[in-house]
Amino acid sequence: MRLRSLLLVCTVLLALSACGDKAAPVAFNNTDVTGLAYGKDFSLHDHNGKLRTLADFKGKAVVVFFGFTQCPDVCPTTMLEMANVMKALGPDADKVQVLFITVDPERDTATLLSQYVPAFDPRFLGLRGDLAETEKTAKEFKVFYQKVPGKTPGSYTVDHTAGSYVFDPQGRIRLFIRHGQGVEPIVHDLKILLAQPA
- Average pLDDT rounded to a whole number, residues 146-162: 90
Tell whether residue 19 is among the known ligand binding residues: no
Tens of pLDDT along 50-65?
999 999 999 999 999 9
3-state secondary structure the chain: CHHHHHHHHHHHHHHHHHHHHCCCCCCCCCEECCCCCCCCCCCEEECCCCEECHHHHCCCEEEEEEECCCCCCHHHHHHHHHHHHHHHHHHHHHHEEEEEEECCCCCCCHHHHHHHHHHCCCCCEEEECCHHHHHHHHHHCCCCEEEECCCCHHHCEEEECCCEEEECCCCCEEEEECCCCCHHHHHHHHHHHHHCCC
Confidence of residue 20 (pLDDT cuts 50, 70, 90): very low
Which has more pLDDT, 17 or 173? 173
117-140 mean pLDDT: 97
pLDDT value, residue 15: 44
Check pLDDT > 60 for residue 142: yes
> pTM for this one?
0.85
Domains defined for the chain, CATH in brackets: 43-195 (3.40.30.10)
Average pLDDT over residues 69-77: 94
Q: Is 71 annotated as a binding-site member?
A: yes
Mean pLDDT of the chain: 88
